[in-house]
Structure 1
Amino acid sequence: MVAGEAQVSASATGSLPLALAAGAAVGVLGGMIGLGGAEFRLPLLISLFGFAALSAVILNKAMSLVVVITALPARLAAVSFTDLGTHWTVAINLLAGSLLGAWAGASWAVRMRSATLYKVLATLMVGMAAALVLTHTTALGSLDLPGPVRAVAGVVAGFGIGVVAAIMGVAGGELLIPTIVLLYGLDIKTAGSMSLLVSLPTMLVAFARYSRDGSFAVLRANLRFVVVMVAGSAAGALLGGLLLGVVPDAVLIPTLAVILLVSAVKVARHSQPSRP
């Protein structure tokens, strides 16, 4: 079991400039596709900075939470509360599943053996790569489901997204945005803002569950590292936003997908018995 595995990585404590640079790189990647980039941060925490699986997930969750809170005012400036208020049932529908999923996912993560968690994370990274390609290469349209069916589908989808977001320590926008477009027919811009409103309480629930476990101490032990990496991510996200559209999606999306796949392989190797 990985519960109680509070960890200060030697690589992290001695590499604050590297944390700043890595955070900036993650921010740029996320900004260029209009997302937070937490799925790219997780493998760096494991492979580059040497954190164990659960510690990396908790640190990633903390940083993702800060990114979401930071991004929320800008999103609300672009899409007002009034506009979002007309779709309040969408948020309620998804939250009915995502809050339960977040608690369940965090509970499963703290109970998994390290080797198992590495394998799960690697598998989810492959899934994120597939979702990234699908979302950015396919014209999404509403499934036009009957109301009761759509409500059930929303709860089920929300639960799954909550589980994935909790286990990976991400906000889940990569999955929430296409789900909102497909199930409820909202445009991408509104879906992006709505995803933040769903992500925030979902992340808080996962955070609350992780805080009950001894391994949550990793956050206090690495607070300076977290602050520096978040600062880098914020700066990188601004630059990535300015570069939005500069690199053609036909080049950018496959490149990012390959990065995720390579990262998945590296993370999976941590589960091998021969590795410490």
Structure 2
Amino acid sequence: MVDDIADLRAARWAGSLPLAFGAGAAVGVLGGMIGLGGAEFRLPLLIGVFGFAALAAVILNKAMSLVVVLSALPARLTAVPLDELAGHWVIAINLLAGSLLGAWAGAAWAVRMRTATLYRILAVLMVGMAAALVLTHTTTASTLALPDAVRAVTGVAAGFGIGVVAAIMGVAGGELLIPTITLLYAVDVKIAGSLSLLVSLPTMLVAFARYSRDSSFQVLRSNWRFAATMALGSIAGALLGGLLLGVVPNLVLVPLLAVVLLISAYKLARH
């Protein structure tokens, strides 16, 4: 009943397409300024501003993340051609071996959770995202010197965990994939960014397929105009954010964004 009320309230807000575009653009700018898609900032807006219930917000966020990733892929392949990525295909396969399973499992868990439990888990993951954001943008970690067999097993385990988190939050997972790739496989961050898209796209499709089997997927059919408008805003904002990359120093921007995530986590925990 609570979810039904939340969805009805959301239907009224979803009619405000200019607000949806503006919110998406703001998220895109924030993400673009630090080289991310910004889906972790879009989720609390879907819940706190537009009033969607937790699972509905996750499904909408996943759909919009998928659109944003697809739009970013051609630009990434122009910057880092496929022939340059060909020598690193083993990395993508290694991570996908875990992330595809993790995405299916994460989506399956999300649709079975009580709403209150999902809010709390999202709050915990928001705190984790804030910590990852600060660590990856303010510290430099050395590559782990691991035997090949151990690295392969660690890659599958890391991929599984990232797949679960990405599915439950409805994000692409680049904020976790990029540092994982650089830490485990010692590749340049530019290549890591392109590899993360190649891993996150099929991972997101698997989670999306699992969500489509649940009745909650109806929220996407009912609010497709809202989702499309917000996704377009996110893409436009990400392009603008990319142009503003470096304008605000990371030492100022990253802690500020981490605080935004922590405040969002607190509000979700109290939902």
TM range (shorter): over 0.9
TM-score, with normalisation over the residues of structure 2?
0.97
1:11 CA drift (Å): 4.3
Percent identity, aligned pairs only? 77
Local SS of the residue matching 1:87: helix
**How far apart, CA to CA, are the structure 2 residues paired with 1:5 and 1:180?**
42
Change in 2 beyond 3 A, CA 1:11/1:3: closer
1:208 CA drift (Å): 0.4
Structure 2 unaligned segments of length 5 or more: list them: none
Given residue 142 of structure 2, which amino acid in structure 1 is its aligned partner? G
Q: Which residue does 1:32 correspond to in 2? A: 33
**How far apart, CA to CA, are the structure 2 residues paired with 1:89 and 1:260?**
33
Q: Deviations over 1:137-166 (max 9, x none)?
A: 111331121100000000000000000000
Q: Deviations over 1:88-110 (max 9, x none)?
A: 00000000000000000000000
Higher helix share: 2
Given residue 108 of structure 2, which amino acid in structure 1 is its aligned partner? S
1:235 CA drift (Å): 1.1
**How far apart, CA to CA, are the structure 2 residues paired with 1:196 and 1:238?**
17
1:268 CA drift (Å): 1.0
1:228 aligned to 2:229? yes
**How far apart, CA to CA, are the structure 1 residues paired with 2:98 and 2:2?**
26
Q: Which residue does 2:80 correspond to in 1? A: 79
Local SS of the residue matching 2:51: coil
Structure 1 unaligned segments of length 5 or more: list them: 271-276
Given residue 7 of structure 2, which amino acid in structure 1 is its aligned partner? Q
**How far apart, CA to CA, are the structure 1 residues paired with 2:5 and 2:80?**
41
Change in 2 beyond 3 A, CA 1:3/1:208: farther
**How far apart, CA to CA, are the structure 2 residues paired with 1:133 and 1:120?**
20
Local SS of the residue matching 2:245: coil
Local SS of the residue matching 1:7: helix
Correspondence list, 1:115-264, <5 A: 115-264=116-265
Q: Which residue does 1:7 correspond to in 2? A: 7
Question: Comparing 4-13 with 57-66, which one deviates more in the overlay?
Answer: 4-13
**How far apart, CA to CA, are the structure 2 residues paired with 1:230 and 1:100?**
26
1:6 CA drift (Å): 9.6
Change in 2 beyond 3 A, CA 1:43/1:11: farther
Q: How many residues align?
A: 270
Local SS of the residue matching 1:34: coil
The answer as to whether partners of 2:3 and 2:53 remain within 8 angstroms in 1 is no
Local SS of the residue matching 2:154: helix
The answer as to whether partners of 1:5 and 1:54 remain within 8 angstroms in 2 is no
Question: Comparing 52-61 with 260-269, which one deviates more in the overlay?
Answer: 260-269
The answer as to whether partners of 1:4 and 1:215 remain within 8 angstroms in 2 is no
The answer as to whether partners of 2:43 and 2:61 remain within 8 angstroms in 1 is yes
Q: Deviations over 1:231-265 (max 9, x none)?
A: 11111111100100000011000000000000111
Given residue 232 of structure 1, which amino acid in structure 2 is its aligned partner? G
**How far apart, CA to CA, are the structure 1 residues paired with 2:121 and 2:47?**
14
**How far apart, CA to CA, are the structure 2 residues paired with 1:134 and 1:150?**
22
1:10 CA drift (Å): 3.5
Q: Deviations over 1:57-91 (max 9, x none)?
A: 00000000000000000000011101111000000
Given residue 223 of structure 2, which amino acid in structure 1 is its aligned partner? N
**How far apart, CA to CA, are the structure 2 residues paired with 1:173 and 1:36?**
8
Change in 2 beyond 3 A, CA 1:139/1:51: same
Given residue 156 of structure 1, which amino acid in structure 2 is its aligned partner? A
The answer as to whether partners of 2:11 and 2:223 remain within 8 angstroms in 1 is no
Given residue 18 of structure 2, which amino acid in structure 1 is its aligned partner? P
The answer as to whether partners of 1:27 and 1:234 remain within 8 angstroms in 2 is yes
Which consecutive aligned stretches of 4+ in structure 1 deviate over 4 angstroms post-superposition? 1-6
Local SS of the residue matching 2:146: coil
